[in-house]
Structure 1
Amino acid sequence: MAVLSPDPVLLRVSTRDIPESDRSPFWREVFARQMCHLEFEPLSDGPLDVEATLLALPGLSVGWCLSTMPARWSRTAELVKDGDDAFAFIIPLAGAVNCSQRGRELDAKPGDGVGILHSEPGGIQFRELNDIAVMVQRSALAPLVPDLEEAATRLVPSTNEALRLLRLYLTGWRENFSITDSALCRLAVSHVHDLMAMALGATGDAAAGANGRGIRAARLKAVKADVASNLTAHDLSVAAVARRQRVTPRYVHMLFDREGTTFSRFVLAERLACARRMLLDPRHAQQSIGAIAYASGFGDLSHFNHAFRRRYGATPSEVRREGSDSQAIR
């Protein structure tokens, strides 16, 4: 997989789009060898059924792969001559993965993480696959992780907090990577580097720096995702979110303070946005405004109406009417 790209590139490939007789040659020669710098070996008969999504960024590549048949991906002794010095971090989301390199074998269960050095022969084998593969140049991780070669021989358990945050941070990128600003893109890449380094065992100043950058950014994203998932809960509170995210309420407040807002303001803005989407959605045309307010997490209709008008400069009824008029024009 190409690790460096001047601009974000998102590519989706599926064998289902290819005639059965051409699937194996294409996947082995074009996708595996040319695009990923890997060898692919199916371990069962039958038509190949694999799909993959690749996201290439400056300094980072992320791949998601789904396979319903046993297979092996590997860096052979011949392939390592290409000089590819990437470090791959494999995170199975479902199904176990056996990783072999440097004379050792590790069995990664769903949620675990395991490293592969592209500069040395090695590979992964599985019965079925649903995984994330995060790839960076070793030069990006070497200053953060004391002994990257040794780190590549250890299994990172699913209970590792940095690994959990890394999985959450990458959630959504598979379907839609929406960062277009180059500076923000570089920042996102550095956050992934930090999370990988912490999962692999960053220490000292490197750990302190990663905690102040990638860990904090990933925790904020996880907190916001938690709020979004529990938006309609009328008992949504900073204490409940902090408990689920394994941090203190004070830490959650600090995360939002650094963004120039507060937890309460963020929750209010998200609930108002949810209500507005429902008011504009024809599928909710028969629901009363009170029902929509309640479904968006509001318990007081007067408070909802006041906050909505202050936010959008119009009443909920006016926004609903504008949405109906717009649909009628179409």
Structure 2
Amino acid sequence: MTMQRDAIRRWREQYARRSLRIDFRPLTDAPFSTSFEPIYDDLRVARTRFSPGITFRDDELVKDGDDAFSLVICPSRSLHVTHQGREVRLGRGEAVPMHVCETGTVGSSEDFAFIAVLVPSAELRARVAHPDDAVMRRLPRSSEALQLLRHYIHSLEKSRFNGSAEGRELVRGHIIDLMSLALTQVGKVGESSQSAIVAARTASVLQEIAASFQKPELSVGLVARTLGISPRYLHRLLEMTGASFSERVNELRLQKAFSMLADPCNSRRLISDIAFEVGFSDLSHFNRLFRARFGGPPSSVRHRASGGACE
């Protein structure tokens, strides 16, 4: 218990109350652990993880003058949030808006994480008529606008975005627009041409392709149905990225096949088995694409890897 208190005290003094502007209270005797992963600094978008306990902003911390609105997104099994005399329990994929200038808590009796998006009050009020009315209103996982925001944040997190000043300003606008939409949109977002929605939809499409490219039955229609958009709209989104659906799927499959063939641990596996595992259903087609992409047949990659040791 003493070790836990000392760890929390060091974290609090060196980092929490100065930089994160939050504090922490444990709920169990488990060793204290935490991590902070910035995703997009301009809006303080970050993923934070904690051992069982409660993070909070108290009367002293809210004196810092920060008037931002925070959207707390739950990637954990559950979160318990208190704010403005109200309580909300969030499940995985759900979210709740909070006003940073007022005290509040976020926590769980088990290891937990949350993603926070902080938007300056003036910028949110310029887009949302009465943002205070949305505070502590649970946004369900089924909210399409919230799903788009989550996908967009995930794409930034995965790519470790570090663009130009112009690019950062564009991303900033996208995040604020998507958060505003999540606070106000009740029904379907639809196939909008709004920049933020196009960017988030594109991120969703690319994530779905990356997660499913090894399925031989993967098609434009299947991805479109999964994401609730039309095949025509999906094609338009991919056209703007400079690569078609088949080009993206084939590239992912070929890269996966190359990696597997180069691994000495797969030296006894048939090339055809690897081709089928990564999603190809025609071996001749695989061989043609592989040679065109890498300048030689699959067997040449295996030959170069044959002298290595399997680890």
Task: Please classify the TM superposition score into its range, dividing by the shorter chain length.
Answer: 0.7 to 0.9
Whether 2:24 is the aligned partner of 1:32: answer no
CA–CA separation in structure 1 for the residues paired with 2:15 and 2:30? 16
Among 250, 266, 269, the alignment partner of 1:284 is 266
8 A contact 1:48–1:69 mirrored in 2: no
Structure 1: stretches of 5+ with no match in the other structure: 1-17
CA distance in 2, matches of 1:285, 1:195: 48
Q: Tell me what 2:220 maps to.
A: 238
Q: Which residue of 2 aligns with 1:193?
A: 176
Secondary structure, counterpart of 1:27 in structure 2: helix
Are the equivalent residues in 2 in contact too, given 1:65–1:131 (CA < 8 A)?
A: yes
Contact 2:33/2:50 (<8 A) preserved = yes
1:309-320 correspondence runs (5 A)? 309-320=291-302
Distance 1:173 1:23, change over 3 A: farther
Aligned residue identity for 2:230: T
Unaligned runs of 5+ in 2: none
| 1:141-176 deviation digits (Å, cap 9, x = unpaired) | 3322222222223221111012122223333766x5
- Between the aligned partners of 1:23 and 1:172, the Cα distance in structure 2 is 33
Q: 1:20-54 deviations in whole A, cap 9, x for unaligned? A: 4521212333333112112323344x254232223
Q: How does 1:173-322 map to 2 (within 5 A)?
A: 177-182=159-164, 183-201=166-184, 212-322=194-304
Summarize the Cα distance change of 1:291–1:97 in structure 2 as closer, same or farther, 3 Å threshold. closer
Q: State the Cα RMSD in Å.
A: 2.9
Contact preservation (8 Å) 1:51, 1:65: yes
Q: Does 1:61 align with 2:57?
A: no
Q: Is the 8 A contact 2:81 2:88 kept in 1?
A: yes
Structure 2 vs 1, CA of residues 259 and 289 (structure 1 numbering), >3 Å: closer, same or farther? Answer: same
CA deviations over 1:193-236 (Å, ceiling 9, x no partner): 23212111169xxx99x962232222222222222222221111
Deviation at 1:126, TM superposition (A): 3.1
1:262 is displaced (CA, Å) by: 1.6
Cα distance change on mapping 1:21 and 1:83 into 2, 3 Å: closer
Distance 2:170 2:264 in 1: 39
Q: 1:249 and 1:78, CA in 2 relative to 1: closer, same or farther beyond 3 A?
A: same
Call closer, same or farther: CA 1:211–1:260 in 2, change over 3 Å. Answer: same
Q: Is the 8 A contact 1:50 1:65 kept in 2?
A: no
Q: How many residues align?
A: 304
1:125-204 matched pairs, under 5 angstroms: 125-128=107-110, 129-171=112-154, 177-182=159-164, 183-201=166-184
Taking every aligned residue pair, what percent have the same amino acid on both sides? 34
Quickly say closer, same or farther: Cα 1:21–1:100, change in 2 above 3 A: closer
Say if 1:169 and 1:218, in contact at 8 Å, map to a contact too: yes
Task: In structure 1, give the amino acid aligned to 2:138.
Answer: L
Quote the Cα distance in structure 2 between the aligned partners of 1:84 and 1:163: 24
2: CA distance, partners of 1:81 / 1:94: 30
- Given candidates 92, 109, 113, the residue that maps to 2:74 is 92
Q: 1:66 deviation in Å?
A: 3.2
2:106 corresponds to 1:124: yes
Structure 1 residues 211 and 132, CA gap change in structure 2 (3 angstroms): farther
